[in-house]
Structure 1
Amino acid sequence: MTEYDIVIIGGGPVGLYATFYAGLRDMKALLIDAQDELGGQLVTLYPEKMVYDVGGFPGILAYELAQQLVEQAKMFSPDIRIKEWADMIERTSDNMWMVKTDKGNTFKTKTILIAAGIGRMTPSRLGAKGEIEYENKGVYYTVRRKKDFEGKRVLIVGGGDAAVDWALTLAPVAKSVTLIHRRDQFRAHERSVKQLFQVATVYTWHELKEVKGDGNRVTQAVIFDNRTKDEKVLDVDAVIISIGFKGDLGNMPKWGMNMKGRDIIVNARMETNLPGVYAAGDIASQEGAPKLALIAVGFGQAAIAISVAKKYVDPNASLFAGHSSEMDKFKK
């Protein structure tokens, strides 16, 4: 069995940066992520939106930022497993940890960093007829690449910021955009809602009843007025159901860390109450410090956690190894 210096749980921005930094500190690392693509919320929730609060970028597309973080994380050839969920952790008799996954795999490691964000993200589904059948064949829950919808007739379901923003984003490239919302009040910025009515066909008090297709792709959607039950059949190429995502922590609350709600309690060194187990990013709540759910904050927490973990693995190592620009191994 391969033994690791650190297993990093979560492949979002913080987990990716931690993986890079672990390599920089010459630690043998394994990154585990439950999603089908690395990048966390950057690729799952808002890949086509601009991110403005990361140092060095006046503005960068979330998906592009994710890809650069992935490239950076791979610099020191860590082991990476996606579509795999860290299910349980157990302390071993030789003071190491076993990380067990939902795939039946077990990994032995000296330390663990939990950077799971809000947990495994699953989309909220409507349960409409044909929805599951045509998932990824025209039914989507987010927009990962705007170009995939060029020239298409798009139906968006939802009335929050995300739904309205997708409508505004796709309107210039799609053949047509229709948005339906089960109420007449939107949970989005007033200015965005005003723009929505200028660029899209909007049906309030309407819901999705059925998605139809030819077996390979979506061709129609049946919507209905939830007051009168009158139905309309729309010719569409894509249906985007934008009613939110759920964060699932799985068995993590049973692992033995002190938690407050969904947050793992850590000290200034990003240590949990379990020896050799750390947390950083959105899932961490640092004692005595305000919680700021920012990527920039998570980067700093990851660097601290990895540095402390390095010292835990090798007591002779320096907590601070110097600047990367001074390290010969970092230079190409």
Structure 2
Amino acid sequence: MSEAITIEETTPEDVNGQQAEAGSAAPAITDVTVIGGGPVGMFAAFYSAMRNLDVTLVDSLPELGGQVAALYPEKPIHDIAGFVSGTGAELVGNLKKQIDTFPERITVYTNEEVRGLEQLADGTFTLTTPAREIRTRSVIVAIGSGAFTPRPLAIDYDRERLDGHGVFYFVKHLADFAGKTVAVAGGGDAAIDWALELERIAGKVVLIHRRDNFRALESSVARLKESTVAILTPYKFTSVTGVPDGDGLHIELAKIKSDETLALDVDALLVNYGFTSDNHLLKEWGLPVKRGDLEVDEYLETEVPRIYGVGDAVNYPGKVKLISAGFGEVPRAVNHLAEQLYPDRKQPLHE
């Protein structure tokens, strides 16, 4: 990479909301810059500081936490060791506490998108945001799946009127659904988790899936079948309309491979069909990409020396896209880059 790269603007030019949340200012050149402030990026910054590396953490969102904080702060997270069914907000809060233990090592810039990445002749890098240039000896890319858009219902409906007013793709506040009749669409872990979580406070929960089988953790499916959640399978949506002169939705369903139809009146519909993602930033930065993911070796390093990737941004044989798996990748990447930067330092043998 010989030239700085400019990418399409997706955040405002106004940088008044940008701030260094940890250290007061980054050094003239930092040991490692972590791009992406989701849970895995936050842990990468913390672990780098544990190795006595100076760290700059940059994220395009106003707050740290990535999708977890922005989209489902109240969703329970079950698959992180030692974290017993806490919420996304609790996980992010704990990671912030870890970062705060190294104020002299970690500098955080939020609401700043990295728009350019240039490798200099001496092997170091310059990252460009709307507010500053960051000189760094190494880079860890932790941007997850990039820009994300929820997959919508596969039918035409009045999205302008109903999205956010009956039809929802995210849950910011679980209490908004208290006492209501809620339909949940989908058959994966997210749909089942939300159905079980809503069961605690909603008046009634109905789970609608187009297949008889669910693509979710076996333990979650077992809990679902033992719950009070009404399960409708295999059904597809044929119509979703608002209730005239009032709140709520009228839903019409058709049973797969059958003439049977069903109509429901609900207060809200939560759609969990997953997300489409766009990691065009990786290509814009000139990094090796395969099927939208960053290609890395066994040390999580790309073919560009001292540029690493962790979390959902990367791809390699056997890759599992879980937060817990991303946490496990961080020590591999950081210990390897620390050895590249400071060959006299030995990798820790144990905690």
Q: TM-score range by the shorter chain?
A: 0.7 to 0.9
Equivalent-residue separation in structure 1 for 2:73 and 2:230 (angstroms): 20
Give the TM-score normalised by structure 2: 0.70
The aligned amino acid for 2:138 is T
Partner of 2:280: 250
Please, which of 86, 91, 107 is the counterpart of residue 61 of structure 1?
86
When residues 111 and 98 of structure 1 are mapped into structure 2, their CA distance, relative to the original with a 3 A threshold, is: same
Deviations 1:242-288 (CA, angstroms, capped at 9, x unpaired): 111123212313433334434433334432221321122343346xx
Please, which of 22, 41, 53 is the counterpart of residue 48 of structure 2?
22
Contact 1:168 / 1:195 at 8 angstroms: preserved in 2? Answer: no
Equivalent-residue separation in structure 1 for 2:230 and 2:318 (angstroms): 41
Equivalent-residue separation in structure 1 for 2:230 and 2:163 (angstroms): 23
Please, which of 183, 188, 202 is the counterpart of residue 174 of structure 1?
202
Which consecutive aligned stretches of 4+ in structure 1 deviate over 6 angstroms post-superposition? 227-231, 321-324
Please, which of 217, 226, 230 is the counterpart of residue 200 of structure 1?
230
Deviation at 1:158, TM superposition (A): 3.0
Deviation at 1:48, TM superposition (A): 2.8
Unaligned runs of 5+ in 1: 325-332
Matched, 1:304 2:332: yes
Partner of 1:261: 291
Give the TM-score normalised by structure 1: 0.73
Question: Which structure has the highest strand share of the two?
Answer: 1
Equivalent-residue separation in structure 2 for 1:74 and 1:213 (angstroms): 51
Counterpart secondary structure, 2:137? strand
- Counting aligned pairs with the same residue, the percent is 29
Partner of 1:157: 185
Partner of 1:272: 302
Counterpart secondary structure, 2:250? strand
Equivalent-residue separation in structure 2 for 1:268 and 1:161 (angstroms): 29
Counterpart secondary structure, 1:76? coil
Equivalent-residue separation in structure 2 for 1:84 and 1:51 (angstroms): 31
Please, which of 234, 238, 243 is the counterpart of residue 265 of structure 2?
234
When residues 76 and 137 of structure 1 are mapped into structure 2, their CA distance, relative to the original with a 3 A threshold, is: farther
Please say which of residues 35-44 and 296-305 is displaced more in the overlay: 35-44
State the aligned residue count. 312
Counterpart secondary structure, 2:97? helix
When residues 292 and 304 of structure 1 are mapped into structure 2, their CA distance, relative to the original with a 3 A threshold, is: same
Contact 1:156 / 1:240 at 8 angstroms: preserved in 2? Answer: yes
Partner of 1:111: 138
Unaligned runs of 5+ in 2: 1-24
Contact 1:220 / 1:234 at 8 angstroms: preserved in 2? Answer: yes
Please, which of 122, 147, 159 is the counterpart of residue 149 of structure 2?
122
